[in-house]
Amino acid sequence: MGSTVKLFKTAANGKLAPSDIESNFDDLHPILSSEYAVVEASRCLYCFDAPCLNACPTEINIPKFIKQIYSGDADGAATTILSENILGGTCARACPTEELCEEVCVVTQTEGAPVKIGQLQRFAVEGLIEKGEHPFRRAPETGRRFAVVGAGPAGLAFAHRFTMLGNSVVIFEKREKPGGLNEYGLAEYKMAGDFAQREVAFLLQIGGIEMRYGKALGENIALDQLKTEFDGVFIGVGLGDTRKLPASGVTLPGVEDAVEFIDRLRQAPAKADVSIGANVVVIGGGNTAIDAAIQARCLGAQNVTIAYRRGAASMSATAWEQQLAAANGVNFVHWASPHEFVGKERIEAVVFNRMELVGGALKETGEKMTIPADCVFLAIGQAMSHVGLDGLTLDGGKISVNEQYQTSVDGIYAGGDCTATGVDLTVQAVEDGKQAAICADALLRKRSANVAE
């Protein structure tokens, strides 16, 4: 995401003015001006068989869209992006570009920094969304209809491509808003300006998509019933659950899943109304831990510590995310695994086991360490919920799919984090949804052609 690091407002006494708190949740990177976008686009070398394109899970034609920006056709650039990745707006904001397209940008070798591909993508896509125009049209109506379970990136991408191909879709969503983790799981400053909702509204302009909220698999909808009612089903429910720590005291008030904290904060109309402790401990090593820790600082927490059981190099949070956290006063304690959560009526401290690697295996050193805490966020990873998935074959706890994104049950497709298709990233979920829609549509067309013969 580039080398500039946003510095949030923090206060030594932990008392931030409400206006400071609100401004802390503003955009992490302001959108590029059109002048800067063209100058930045001029840095792109338009590589042959471009490494960035090959590094993008959705294979956006990056050199092409950058050249379109350069030539003054930003809407054309947006169309190039969105034709491969309909959630290219969120991906531009939230993708770990420093580990994907920008990591392999050859310009880094001569100029020390890659072309700001993510920010150029955002410039193009948001410019088009702002205009309120939708660049795609639906193919002639096929009369076929699918049920999509989950209005996250995978489900939305499936719905968009599937309807674009002439079919229609009903999306069943457990929550009251669409977007999945885009709406509920990313730090506010990454998705500022209610972007997740604006993006979904843009996506739905394709037509042929009906939304039904408050519908959860295994609660008030069932796969069997959907399968009967529709021509097929696409499951994009995500992981749905979090891993649990077996440590004692983990249920004390003040100990919360980081995803719940992020979710609460995202949905809070006034961020300053979300209370935070003075001493916050976040347990985990991924981007969720970073998002929780930085946002705790944004709310005014004095001491925020990320505790991780291994060394910095093993953290799944990208180097850029770690840098952003460190620059904003988040402390990192490595080689510390939670042993016990201590407190009378609510959390007061966390006791850690110090860890080390012995012959490649993670072992306790026997040493203990205590960090005072009045707020603890657990970010030790999500877990797959199997509620309502009876009858589907699983693979490593996730829904098993073949190369056509078909599950073990005919007519039921799946993609995104709930399947083992690749990395758990928005961009991967979008690719899964898009490809599954193409496969499902092709199969339906083939079958109806066979029937016609």
Binding-site ranges for another protein (CB under 8 A): 35, 38-39, 41-42, 45-51, 70, 106-107, 109-110
In the complex, minimum distance from the CB of residue 110 to another protein, in angstroms, rounded to a whole number: 6
**Tokens standing for residue 111:** 């100029």
- Left if phi > 0, otherwise alpha if psi is -120 to 50, otherwise beta: which for 366? left
In the complex, minimum distance from the CB of residue 3 to another protein, in angstroms, rounded to a whole number: 19
Q: What whole-number distance in Å separates Cα of residue 32 and Cα of residue 35?
A: 8
In the complex, minimum distance from the CB of residue 403 to another protein, in angstroms, rounded to a whole number: 23
In the complex, minimum distance from the CB of residue 39 to another protein, in angstroms, rounded to a whole number: 5
In the complex, minimum distance from the CB of residue 65 to another protein, in angstroms, rounded to a whole number: 15
Phi, psi for residue 70 in degrees, rounded to 5 = -60, -35
Question: Which of residues 51 and 166 has its CB atom nearest to another protein in the complex?
Answer: 51
In the complex, minimum distance from the CB of residue 50 to another protein, in angstroms, rounded to a whole number: 8
Q: What whole-number distance in Å separates Cα of residue 132 and Cα of residue 126?
A: 10
In the complex, minimum distance from the CB of residue 97 to another protein, in angstroms, rounded to a whole number: 19
In the complex, minimum distance from the CB of residue 48 to another protein, in angstroms, rounded to a whole number: 3
Question: Which of residues 25 and 65 has its CB atom nearest to another protein in the complex?
Answer: 65
Cβ within 8 Å of residue 66, ≥6 positions away: 41, 44, 46, 77, 115, 117, 120
Count other Cβ atoms within 10 Å, centred on residue 364: 16
Q: With beta carbons less than 8 A apart as the criterion, state whether 300 and 375 touch.
A: no
Question: Which of residues 50 and 262 has its CB atom nearest to another protein in the complex?
Answer: 50
Residue with tokens 């799981």: 185
Question: Which of residues 43 and 334 has its CB atom nearest to another protein in the complex?
Answer: 43
**3-class SS of residue 63:** helix
Q: What whole-number distance in Å separates Cα of residue 449 and Cα of residue 441?
A: 12
Question: Which of residues 35 and 453 has its CB atom nearest to another protein in the complex?
Answer: 35
Question: Which of residues 70 and 202 has its CB atom nearest to another protein in the complex?
Answer: 70
Question: Which of residues 70 and 195 has its CB atom nearest to another protein in the complex?
Answer: 70
Contacts of 110-117 with CB under 8 Å at 24 or more apart are 111/43, 113/2, 113/3, 115/40, 115/41, 115/43, 115/44, 115/52, 115/66, 116/2, 116/32, 116/40, 117/52, 117/62, 117/66
**3-class SS of residue 64:** helix
Question: Which of residues 35 and 345 has its CB atom nearest to another protein in the complex?
Answer: 35
**Tokens standing for residue 195:** 């972007």
**Tokens standing for residue 368:** 């203990």
